[in-house]
Each structure stands twice: as structure tokens, then as C-alpha cells.
């Protein structure tokens, strides 16, 4: 066999070590991991000049709105932005597209619509909603990587769950060997506080985060994880913004309960002051927290208590944000960020707070690949794995402008932010799909990913 590609002179990162060396690629796979400087014959040799070579990011939390709301994003632009951010696999959510992906037929429909669109690999979340317990088996057979569920109202045509179905859904996960990804905020407390604030005439930006306080999130994390403990079901709490929630889940996991925690870059980057300055583009749920909460969340990341970091890329058209400029309640909630996960974590984590590159690879690649049944095809730089790689320059300082975004709607809460650490090149299955500002793959290059084994973590 001849070597197609030799990436040399890099800092190679796995979840356990960082070493000077390189990677050889044959076809779509990693053929070998090279330590030190070796002369190797290959069709193409790329000298990475000391840059960091990470396993491609597995972003387990994106909303691409296709089919049905392609004016908000779509798989084509969404995966282009992913590629530009060093993301080589995306796991896409079942809501915010119409119709939502809540049964076998709608899953097949989505896959048919998006098959020719993606430039990176992609898998699908199914939905667990109020009336589809009978549909979970068929979606599992068809390879969904998990089931998204909401404990509070989702804001779109996707029914939230009460405890009966959180309980029953988790029990079903134990039987299937799959996982529920839960949006955990207390519906009743958030509704009550929202009404109080609205009745008082509040339309300012602070009213948004006052209506969804940290304790409303923590309560639902505690309640749902109790049902995970009782049922033995598998629970992944998504987009956690409060440190106490992360610590609660970490304690249960230590005790053998099947619970894991995701946080998002925006909870590690923005605080209340930023939110009040930026406004609608930074509106999301749970909301952006105080600086004290942000630093407490960082402490969890640095202690290794966070399992995965996903972007929760949740775009919309600008008019959906603009209408909330003077009344925050009216803006669509969601932050466009799939392109910025690595820059945020390289800058704020590795460069500013001493986060190790191995810990970064663990949260961004290794853990999500294992949790969603994609490992060892994805998630680690090792022989036999797909050659999914991100080349980053750790020292490069840059400021994000809107024209650098590959999103369909070129705005983001992050525009104007300065980062230290930049993605230079992204490879998916051995092919460079992004390099120095250019997308180099055709739509349709990205392949469908299926959960290939039951939950184990």
C-alpha cells in the first residue's frame, strides 16, 4: 500500500498525550501515527510547521433547520461553517426543522433531503416528545445517535415532556441502549417568572436572564437525573450553564448512574454584561449567566467534570433577532456558533486558563464519539480511524468579522470578538475540506453516520 498523505512536523494530540510527530493517511483512514521527525514517502507531504494537530471535532449539538427552515441555515452552509471551525462530524437536532424528526418516516425524509448537502459527516438525533414512545424503536433501528427531549417549552413545534415521559423515556433508553439529550429548565418556574416580569412591563435584556435563573436549571437536572438513577436509563443533559448542575451529574456518574454533562462555548465566553451589550444575537436558553457563574463553569471544565462541549448552533434569519432589539421577549433564542467552538476553547481555555490540549480533545472528540456510538471510527487520532483532523495555530490572534462566517445568515454573537488560536485546515476522511478561509469539498461529500453500538460510557 502506498501512503497518500503524510502530515508531518506537528504537535499531535490525543485524549491522553501530546507529542511531536505526524500522521500518515491511506484513502480515508489514518494509516499510522508517527513520533518525531521521520522521512516517509507519500503522494503528498504537508509540513505543518509545528502547528497543533487535533482529532476533528465531533459537535454533538447543532440545529441546521433542514428540511423546512432552510432560510435559517440548512446542511450546506451549516456544514461549511463546521468545516471552517475544525468540526468534522455534526450530530444534528430533530427540532427547528419542519416537520420535526420524531418518527421513522420523518427521519427518512430528512436524510433524503439533506443527502446531497453536507461537506462534513453527520448523524441525526431523533425526538422524544409527548406522544411518540412507540416510535423510538424504529428510529433506533435506523441509527439515531440519541433522542432530544425538552423539560421546558421549546419555542417551536416540538412538545415538551412532563415527568411521566421523562421517566418512561429513560426506561426505554435502558432497554434500547440509547440516550436522551435533555434540555433541563423548570417549565413552571420559568413561566411564572416570565409572566411576573412581563406584567411589570419589563422588556429589557436583563429580564430574559432574570426569567430563567440558575436554580430553575439545577432543579430539573436534579429531577431528571433522579429518574435516570431509578430507571437505569441513559441521560445526557445538554447545554448546562450552571456549575452546580455539572457537579451534581459528576457525583452521580461516580456512583455508577448513567448521566453525562454537556456545556457550550457561549456559556464559557459571554456574561451578563456581554449579553446586555450584544442583545438578541446572544439570546439563548438557558440564558447567558453572570461572570461569577462563567468562572465557576470554567472550574468544572478544568477539573475534568464536563463530558462534552457542543456548540448548540441554533441560527435563524436576522429579522427573527432584529424584532427583539427593543423588546428581548420577541427575539428568537439561539446562538450561531458551530464555527467558533475551537477558537473559543483555544483562546479562553488553552491559552488563557491552561486547559490541556488532551482535555480539549477528550471533550470535543473522544467523549462525544464514544457517547454516541461512533468510536473508534471517529474521536481519536489512531491507526484505522477515519482521517478526521483539525490543524490549528495556537498562537494566531485574530478578530472575527461577519464576512468570515459561512452561515447562511452572516451574524453571530461572536462577531467582533478577538481570539488567540485559529483553525488553519480541516480534513474529513483524508480530504482537506477547509483551508485558509476556503471550503474545498463539494456538497454531498459528507456521509451519514449511524450509532453503531449500544450506549457505553
Under the rule (CB under 5 A), what is the footprint of Zn ion?
Answer: 312
Nearer to Zn ion, 154 or 432 (CB): 154
Q: Rounded to whole angstroms, how far apart are CA atoms 289 and 275?
A: 9
Nearer to Zn ion, 7 or 182 (CB): 182
Nearer to Zn ion, 268 or 381 (CB): 268
Nearer to Zn ion, 59 or 312 (CB): 312
Q: Rounded to whole angstroms, how far apart are CA atoms 106 and 137?
A: 14
Contacts with 37 (C-beta within 8 Å, 6 or more apart), sequence order: 8, 9, 20, 21
Shortest distance, position 208 Cβ to Zn ion, whole Å: 17
Shortest distance, position 59 Cβ to Zn ion, whole Å: 11
Shortest distance, position 314 Cβ to Zn ion, whole Å: 5
Q: Rounded to whole angstroms, how far apart are CA atoms 432 and 449?
A: 19
Nearer to Zn ion, 127 or 214 (CB): 127
Q: Which residue is nearest to Zn ion (CB)?
A: 312
At which residue does the C-alpha cell 499510522 appear? Answer: 32
Nearer to Zn ion, 334 or 443 (CB): 334
The secondary structure of 283-296 as a DSSP string is --SSPP--HHHHHH
Shortest distance, position 183 Cβ to Zn ion, whole Å: 7
Contact 259, 228 (CB under 8 A): yes
Nearer to Zn ion, 136 or 335 (CB): 335
Residue 420's SS3 state is strand
Shortest distance, position 192 Cβ to Zn ion, whole Å: 23
Cell of 8: 508531518
Nearer to Zn ion, 181 or 213 (CB): 181
Q: Rounded to whole angstroms, how far apart are CA atoms 447 and 449?
A: 6
Give, in order, the Cα–Cα distances in Å from 120 to each of 99, 313, 315, 428: 23, 15, 18, 6
* Residues, the chain: 457
Query: C-alpha 220: how far from its chain's center?
Result: 21
Shortest distance, position 260 Cβ to Zn ion, whole Å: 16
Cell of 105: 418516516
Residue 395's SS3 state is strand
Contacts with 384 (C-beta within 8 Å, 6 or more apart), sequence order: 29, 30, 376
Shortest distance, position 28 Cβ to Zn ion, whole Å: 30
SS3 string, 140-170, reads HHCCCCEEEEECCCCCCCCCCCCHHHHHHHH
Nearer to Zn ion, 244 or 312 (CB): 312
Torsion of the alpha carbons at 199, 203, 207 and 208, rounded to the nearest 10: 110
Shortest distance, position 432 Cβ to Zn ion, whole Å: 29
Q: Rounded to whole angstroms, how far apart are CA atoms 48 and 34?
A: 13
Shortest distance, position 87 Cβ to Zn ion, whole Å: 15
Shortest distance, position 95 Cβ to Zn ion, whole Å: 8
Nearer to Zn ion, 4 or 59 (CB): 59
Contact 270, 291 (CB under 8 A): no
Amino acid at each position: 500500500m502506498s501512503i497518500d498523505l503524510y502530515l508531518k512536523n506537528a504537535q499531535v494530540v490525543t485524549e491522553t498525550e501530546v507529542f511531536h510527530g505526524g500522521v500518515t493517511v491511506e484513502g480515508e483512514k489514518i494509516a499510522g501515527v508517527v513520533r518525531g521527525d521521520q522521512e516517509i514517502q507519500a503522494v503528498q507531504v504537508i509540513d505543518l510547521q509545528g502547528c497543533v494537530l487535533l482529532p476533528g471535532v465531533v459537535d454533538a449539538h447543532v440545529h441546521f433547520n433542514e428540511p423546512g427552515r432552510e432560510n435559517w441555515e440548512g446542511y450546506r452552509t451549516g456544514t461549511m461553517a463546521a468545516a471552517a471551525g475544525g468540526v468534522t462530524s455534526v450530530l444534528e437536532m430533530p427540532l427547528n426543522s419542519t416537520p420535526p424528526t420524531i418518527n421513522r418516516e420523518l427521519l427518512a425524509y430528512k436524510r433524503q433531503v439533506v443527502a446531497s448537502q453536507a461537506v462534513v459527516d453527520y448523524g441525526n438525533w431523533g425526538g422524544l416528545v409527548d406522544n411518540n414512545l412507540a416510535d423510538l424503536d424504529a428510529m433506533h433501528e435506523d441509527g439515531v445517535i440519541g433522542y432530544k427531549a425538552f423539560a421546558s417549552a421549546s419555542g417551536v413545534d416540538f412538545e415538551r415532556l412532563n415527568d411521566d415521559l421523562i421517566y418512561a423515556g429513560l426506561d426505554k433508553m435502558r432497554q434500547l441502549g440509547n440516550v436522551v439529550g435533555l434540555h433541563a429548565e423548570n417549565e413552571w418556574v420559568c413561566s411564572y417568572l416570565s409572566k411576573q416580569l412581563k406584567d411589570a412591563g419589563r422588556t429589557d435584556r436583563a429580564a430574559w436572564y432574570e426569567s430563567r435563573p440558575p436554580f430553575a436549571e439545577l432543579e430539573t437536572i436534579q429531577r431528571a437525573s433522579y429518574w435516570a438513577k431509578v430507571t437505569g436509563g441513559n441521560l445526557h443533559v445538554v447545554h448546562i450553564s450552571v456549575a452546580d448542575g455539572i457537579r451534581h451529574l459528576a457525583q452521580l456518574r461516580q456512583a455508577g448512574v448513567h448521566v453525562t454533562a454537556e456545556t457550550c462555548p457561549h456559556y464559557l465566553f459571554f456574561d451578563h454584561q456581554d449579553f446586555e451589550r450584544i442583545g438578541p444575537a446572544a439570546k439563548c436558553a438557558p440564558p447567558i449567566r453572570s461572570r461569577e457563574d462563567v468562572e465557576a463553569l470554567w472550574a468544572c471544565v478544568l477539573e475534568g467534570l464536563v463530558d462534552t462541549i457542543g456548540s448548540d448552533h441554533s441560527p435563524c434569519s436576522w429579522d427573527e433577532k432584529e424584532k427583539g432589539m427593543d423588546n428581548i421577549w420577541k427575539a428568537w433564542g439561539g446562538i450561531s456558533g458551530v464555527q467558533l467552538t475551537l477558537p473559543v476553547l483555544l483562546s479562553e481555555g488553552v491559552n488563557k486558563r491552561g486547559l490541556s490540549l488532551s482535555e480539549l480533545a477528550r471533550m470535543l472528540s473522544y467523549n462525544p464519539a464514544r457517547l454516541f456510538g461512533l468510536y473508534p471510527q471517529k474521536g481519536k487520532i489512531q491507526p484505522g480511524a477515519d482521517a478526521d483532523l483539525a490543524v490549528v495555530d495556537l498562537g494566531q490572534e485574530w478578530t472575527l468579522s461577519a464576512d468570515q462566517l459561512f452561515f447562511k445568515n452572516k451574524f453571530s454573537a461572536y462577531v467582533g470578538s478577538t481570539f488567540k488560536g485559529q483553525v488553519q485546515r480541516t480534513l474529513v476522511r483524508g480530504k482537506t475540506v477547509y483551508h485558509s478561509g476556503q471550503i474545498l469539498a463539494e456538497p454531498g461529500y459528507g456521509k451519514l453516520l449511524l450509532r453503531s453500538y449500544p450506549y457505553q460510557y
